[in-house]
Amino acid sequence: MAIAAVGQICSTASMAHNLQQCRLLVQKAVSAGAKALFLPEASDYIASSATETVSLVKSVTDSEFVLGLQDEARNARLPINVGVHEPAEGGKKVKNTLLWIDDKGEIVQRYQKLHLFDVEIKNGPILKESNSVEKGESILSPFDTPVGKVGLMICFDLRFPELSLSLRHRGAQLLTYPSAFTVPTGVAHWSTLLRSRAIETQSYVVAAAQCGPHNDAGTRKSYGHSMIVSPWGEILVELGGANNMDGKVTGRRDIPEIAIAEIDLPYVEKVRREMPLLRRTDVYPEIE
């Protein structure tokens, strides 16, 4: 068995600040004996507007945040999974991507978020990720890591079981959902959705979350509650976060945290063997 560490931070518009938070998590993960560290969506920065989101973006070769994490991975000999922004072609939008940095500090896998969070609530907030983010166009097949065969997804992808089922069909043993969930949607659905994806794919689910207010005005808040779920749907570990709709976060948001759990790959196979999910692909299409 191998230990996976799931991290929780509160990113701001400062890459230097966010890198320092993540460096602390690397140290904690190494001390815990983790074989991989999973960090949230948009760990490099969270801006206050679509315009700022685009203005702050840097390529991975120029990003102090990404370069710093590559150094951390190399020095600690620890693979790091981290969500960042990258420039989109044309310069008017960014890509919301998830990087796998190996224990040599090299970026060896990259997934671009497929499903964007576009919400218009009558007499309520309008949240349109597509105003500043370019959607991805392909599924990244699962790949081997020290904690098993990993399938990458990001935040709003969580609401689309077709994607997780496709990754399971392609051999995934562990699924990721690094996120910056809003407080209302987190209170309503976060735990339920994560457990559902774990149960229906019979896979470990690792969900690293942003937590708390991302600017002094408090105009953007994230739910927190990073967790690791077993293939049987059990929440193995869970960090704190907002507990109700007012968005008040328990604990101190300025201290980055990790939680760890053992990833037992024979247990994945045991669950799949003893609870076989024999799909009726003669009646409905197989998800590939």
**Which residues belong to the active site?**
41, 113, 155
Q: Is the dihedral of CA 66, 69, 75, 76 positive or negative?
A: negative
In contact, 211 and 10? CB cutoff 8 Å? yes
Residue reference for tokens 């998590």: 25
Long-range contacts (CB closer than 8 Å, 24 or more residues apart) made by 188-192: 189/159, 190/223, 190/225, 191/225, 191/227, 191/235
In contact, 97 and 110? CB cutoff 8 Å? yes
Q: Is the dihedral of CA 271, 282, 287, 186 positive or negative?
A: negative
Amino acid present at 273: R
Rounded distance between C-alpha atoms, residue 239 and residue 223, angstroms: 11
What are the structure tokens assigned to 142, written together?
């699962």
Reported as type and span, the H/E element at residue 230 is none
Q: Is the dihedral of CA 201, 202, 206, 209 positive or negative?
A: positive
**Residue 159, C-beta contacts closer than 8 angstroms, at least 6 positions apart:** 115, 189, 193
